[in-house]
Amino acid sequence: MDDQGCPRCKTTKYRNPSLKLMVNVCGHTLCENCVEMLFARGSGSCMQCDTPLRKSNFRVQLFEDATVDKEVEIRKKVMKIYNKREFNFSSLRDYNDYLEQVEDIVYNLTNNIDVENTKLRMEQYQRENKDIIQRNKAKLTREQEELEELLLQEQQSNEQRRLEVLQEEQRQLQAKRKSKQALLDELEQSELPATILLAQHKVRAAQLETQIEQQKQNVKPTTRFGIQIGQTVSLQPVPRIQEVLYQYKPLQVETYGPPAPDLEQLSRFGYLNHVRAAMPQDTAGGYTSALACYRAIQDAFSGLFPLKG
Amino acid sequence: MFHNSSQKKFWTFKNEDELEQMRCIANEKFRKKALDSAKPGIIDPMLLGRHEEDALFRYYERRLLDFCNAFKPAMPKSVVGTAIMYFRRFYLNNSVMEYHPRIIMLTCAYLSCKVDEFNVSSTQFVGNLLQETPAGQERVAEQILEYELLLIRQLNFHLVVHNPYRPMEGLLIDLKTRYPTLENPESLRKSADDFLTQAAMTDAGLVFSPSQIALTAILNSASRAGLNMESYLTECLGLKEDKETLSKMYDSMRRMKTLLKKYELPKQDEVNIYKQKLERIHAEFASSSNKRKRGYEEDGHVAKEPRLTEEDWTDEDLL
């Protein structure tokens, strides 16, 4: 957004990132301050295209490219009139043709092509399809209302759950306090020895704890559902896919020669006696004389036997 | 390791006849190309025949060996072995007449230093050409760098070469550990080394695996010293039951020894005649196709001179 400046005061946009750009029906932008200044009297003309404008026509720019904003506005207006939906048409081809028409109109109005004719076409359409437009409008409002109702319901149920949880906690706290108080009272009044009373108290407290745990368990599954009203949930178990387990097989390499001893067995067989021992400088890097010996032996045995056939 | 290397897959052949065939094909290809180019100077008797090419190849191979042995700092044996193997492989598919062995041999040595991680800068490398002036050495360095990519491509990018030196070490260690019958395996080392150097000058590396060559070297030097190592093969290598493999191994060893015996250095006067012919052929081809992109040097000798005088450095300059 920062690369676009206000065409009038130019620098202000960069210096003040919080400043918003406003767009109007002709598609040109102005920053808030400039709008105030130019349209203090309420109406004026755009400085780039000279179309007469009103201050109320200015809306905060949502998109980087002002032409996009312009198109969005135009589209909103057009869709208010052209609000047929798929069930209004007999075939998919007709629906697509209708949509193509709408796009043409929006395109023309946005790019100022053939504005007059387009407007005439729109008016004609409006007149012809007045009743359908009304019906669809009503339907739209009804759908929107339904959606809003659903949202409200969900919110309410969330609130309720929260309250219930709070209450539950409070009740548990109270229960605990009561049992403590009861213990103190018993210690005062009863004649049984203190240890037995303490033991009883402990047992009761444990029971209470388990009760609370169980309640929590019961509460959890019901609140995790969150299913929307009207949807069904598939209760079939997820199919288990069982494949053949991987078995490790060590790599077999054909060396065309006698088998060479392993690295670990070299010292045992006495090979290392015939190799130069590793000096301390060499071992620092991880070198052992076994490595050189192993390589020499491997090389000696690799490919020793002639190939079969 | 050798058993899954490119050397085993692509550069090991069944016998020497197959190799001879490949070389003949290369020769033929160049002949055809030369005669087809319809140049006035090119006539059939002018081109080298197969045995002449072979003599030149052996001569230049010997020069390569001497160059590597005289190299300062001292070149490890594996580098020498790799260089000779590259030289051999290159001329398996290409003709001596097409690419002059003088340049190719230096390129082989240079590439082998790089591949075997024997770090020598190009200036240091050409500094070993003692007969050259520094300017001449620079020219050689340029030529080497030009031919390097060609060499790599002709080797089919298979740059790892398994030499028989490490297998020989391994076999000596194994002998010392598992074969107490032989008292002093170290005594076999010197003559086995000589055997290996000689084997490098033959086609053995292209037919047999390096461990087989090493084993033959050791058995050969043992038999020279009068020691019998048959039991090593049967006992330690586990070949007591496997008579077939054993007989095959003896067979390959015999073939290898024959290869070595057949080798002989070509006579100097013959070589001189062939060299002259070669120079003439190269001059004919070079004068028409001047591949060198010169003309951006500051000093006096720039592209306008004919190619013959460029090749100022002759074979004598190498040592």
Q: Give contacts of A301 with chain B, Cβ < 8 Å.
A: 170, 211
Cβ–Cβ below 8 Å for B1 and A299: yes
- Average pLDDT along chain B: 85
pLDDT (tens digit per residue) in B143-194? 999 999 999 999 999 999 999 999 999 999 888 888 888 888 888 899 999 9
What are the C-alpha distances in Å from A105 to residues A66, A86, A190?
Answer: 19, 19, 92
- Report the C-alpha gap between A299 and B173 in whole angstroms: 12
pLDDT (tens digit per residue) in A162-199? 999 999 999 999 999 998 898 888 888 877 788 888 88
- Report the C-alpha gap between B220 and B189 in whole angstroms: 11
Give the distance between the most distant pair of CA atoms in chain A.
Answer: 107
From the list A255, A293, A306, the residue facing B245 with the nearest CB is: A306
**The pLDDT of residue A98 is above 70:** yes
Cβ–Cβ below 8 Å for B210 and A305: no
Residue numbers of A between 263 and 302 with CB closer than 8 Å to B: 269-271, 273-275, 293, 295-302
Name which of B176, B184, B208, B211 to mutate to probe chain A: the one with the most chain A Cβ atoms within 10 A of its Cβ.
Answer: B211
Q: How many residues does chain A have?
A: 309
Whether omega for the bond prior to residue B73 falls within 30 degrees of 0, making it cis, is yes
Q: Give contacts of A277 with chain B, Cβ < 8 Å.
A: none
Confidence of residue B316 (pLDDT cuts 50, 70, 90): low
Distance in Å, alpha carbon of A264 to nearest chain B alpha carbon: 16
pLDDT of residue B299: 42
A17 vs A258 pLDDT, higher one: A258
Q: What is the CA radius of gyration of chain A?
A: 42
Instruction: Tell me what ipTM this predicted complex has.
Output: 0.81
From the list A255, A271, A306, the residue facing B173 with the nearest CB is: A271
CB-based contacts of A62, cutoff 8 Å, min separation 6 = A69, A72
pLDDT of residue B246: 85
**Which amino acid is residue B217, in one-letter code?**
A
pLDDT (tens digit per residue) in B224-239? 888 888 888 887 767 6
Classify residue A68 by burial, with Cβ atoms within 10 Å: 0-12, 13-18, 19+.
middle
Identify whether the C-beta of residue B132 lies closer than 8 Å to the C-beta of residue B313: yes
Token pair in block for residue A98: 């209708």
Strand partners, A23: A29, A59
Distance in Å, alpha carbon of B130 to nearest chain A alpha carbon: 37
- Report the C-alpha gap between B50 and B46 in whole angstroms: 13
pLDDT of residue A219: 61
Q: Which phi and psi (to 5°) does residue B177 adopt?
A: -80, -45
Torsion of CA B166, B168, B171, B173, to 10 degrees: -70
**The pLDDT of residue B307 is above 60:** no
**The pLDDT of residue B310 is above 70:** no
A258 touches chain B (CB under 8 A): yes
Distance in Å, alpha carbon of B175 to nearest chain A alpha carbon: 10
Share of chain A above pLDDT 90, in %: 12
Which strand (E) or helix (H) includes residue A44?
strand A43-45
The alpha-helical segments, DSSP class H, found in A224-288 are 265-269, 280-284
Identify whether the C-beta of residue B229 lies closer than 8 Å to the C-beta of residue B182: yes
DSSP annotation of A86: G
Q: Which phi and psi (to 5°) does residue B183 adopt?
A: -75, -45
- Report the C-alpha gap between A44 and A57 in whole angstroms: 11
From the list A254, A293, A295, the residue facing B3 with the nearest CB is: A254
Share of chain B above pLDDT 90, in %: 45
pLDDT (tens digit per residue) in B47-71? 888 888 999 999 999 999 999 999 9
From the list B207, B192, B145, the residue with the least C-alpha distance to B16 is B207
**The pLDDT of residue B88 is above 80:** yes
Q: What is the mean pLDDT of residues B73-94?
A: 94
Strands A43-45 and A59-60: unpaired
Confidence of residue A223 (pLDDT cuts 50, 70, 90): very low
Chain B residues with at least one Cβ partner in A under 8 Å: 1-4, 8, 162, 166-174, 176-178, 209-212, 214-215, 236-239, 245, 248-249, 251-252
Q: Give contacts of B251 with chain A, Cβ < 8 Å.
A: 306
SS3 percent helix, strand, coil of chain B, rounded to 5, is 65, 0, 35
Token pair in block for residue A221: 């599954």
Q: What is the pTM of this model?
A: 0.59
pLDDT of residue B288: 56
B200 vs A235 pLDDT, higher one: B200
Q: Give contacts of A295 with chain B, Cβ < 8 Å.
A: 166, 170
- Residue by residue, DSSP assigns B210-242 as HHHHHHHHHHHHHHHTT---HHIIIIIT--SS-
Q: How many residues does chain B have?
A: 319
Confidence of residue B304 (pLDDT cuts 50, 70, 90): very low
Chain centre to alpha carbon of residue B262: 17
Q: Give contacts of B2 with chain A, Cβ < 8 Å.
A: 299, 302-303
Confidence of residue A224 (pLDDT cuts 50, 70, 90): very low
